[in-house]
Structure 1
Amino acid sequence: MADNGSGIPEATQAHLFEAFFTTKPLGKGTGLGLSISHQVVTEIHAGTITCNSQVGQGTEFVIRLPL
């Protein structure tokens, strides 16, 4: 899926799939959503999930699952 939003800085992209990583204010997020998604896709389904983003250009997440 992709959007044409503000994009994600490279420093943030490096941590997107880490448990408890969040850019939201305290109390507004757990930082588990992408971590759990990554775990489900890679460990349970043997797939991949990647993020392609450029600041000012938007963000794209690609999920690939084997058939």
Structure 2
Amino acid sequence: MSTSIQKDNWVKIGIKDNGSGIDDAVKTKVFDPFFTTKPVGTGTGLGLSVSYQIVVDKHHGRLECISTVGEETEFAIEIPIANSRS
């Protein structure tokens, strides 16, 4: 896991695993509601869809899946930093 401040007042959160990667056919669907690679009855496929809604729709950010088969996978979250003034 990593965090950093990006230019133009954005924060980036990177969450990376040490797995074997995600192929392109699956990667294009990971944020779709009810998509899962788990067997029937063991997952709803809502986790990444809800995450996408929170990051992109509610916070006007970006959520990206960066992965290559045979390498690790990273989910990169970028959210604008809000200026709060009283």
The TM-score bracket by the shorter chain reads over 0.9
Task: Say which SS state the counterpart of residue 42 (structure 2) adopts.
Answer: coil
Q: Which has the larger radius of gyration?
A: 2
Determine which structure has the larger helix proportion and give its number. 1
Relative contact order: is structure 1 or structure 2 higher (C-alpha 8 Å, sep ≥ 6)?
1
Distance 1:5 1:57 in 2: 7
The counterpart of 1:10, out of the listed 24, 43, 49, is 24
Bigger strand share: 2
Aligned residue in 1 for 2:3? none
TM (norm. structure 1) is 0.97
Question: How far 1:20 sits from its partner (Å)?
Answer: 0.3
* Identical-pair percentage: 54
Q: Deviations over 1:2-26 (max 9, x none)?
A: 1121110110000000000000000
Q: TM-score, normalised by structure 2?
A: 0.76
The aligned residue for residue 9 of structure 2 is none
Size of the aligned set, in residue pairs, is: 67
1:25 to 27, 31, 39: 39
RMSD (CA atoms) = 0.5
Structure 2 stretches of 5 or more lacking a match? 1-14, 82-86
Letter in 2 for 1:61: F
